Amino acid sequence: MFPLEIIFNIAAAIAFLIYWVAAFIVLYHLTRFGIGVQPKRLAAIFLFGSLIFSALSIVLFMNVNITSLIPK
């Protein structure tokens, strides 16, 4: 595998990891400290949206051929 491709894959993995750590913090705060119905609803919407956007990003990530972007 070309090194740039490895770097690209690692960068994407790190970006997803950071996103899901931050998402966990949001979900934890909403469900653990939220009072009443509103925080639970927000947590559900946030989780649903995060899954959709993440799936979309993964599909688009698979479509990118990073080696074709390097000028020869």
Partner 1 sequence: MIKEFFTIFRESENSFEGQKEGEKVLLLLRRHIFVILVPLTLFTLGALVPVVVGALFWSYLADNGWRELFLLVSSLWYLGFWLSIFYLLTIYTLNTVIITDRRIIDRDQHDFFNLKVSELHSDRIQDVSIHTNGVIETFLEFGDVTVQTAASERHFVFHQMPQPEKIKDLIMQITSSRHAGVKAAV
Binding site for partner 1 (CB under 8 A): 15, 19, 22-23, 25-26, 29-30, 33-42, 44, 46, 49-50, 53-54, 56-57, 60-61, 63-65, 68-69
CA 30 to chain centre: 19
User: Shortest approach of partner 1 to residue 9 CB, angstroms?
Assistant: 13
Contact 43, 31 (CB under 8 A): yes
Of 3 and 36, which CB lies nearer to partner 1 in the complex structure? 36
**Number of Cβ within a 10 Å radius of residue 21:** 9
For partner 1, the closer of residues 10 and 49 by Cβ is 49
Give residue 20's identity as a one-letter amino acid code. Answer: W
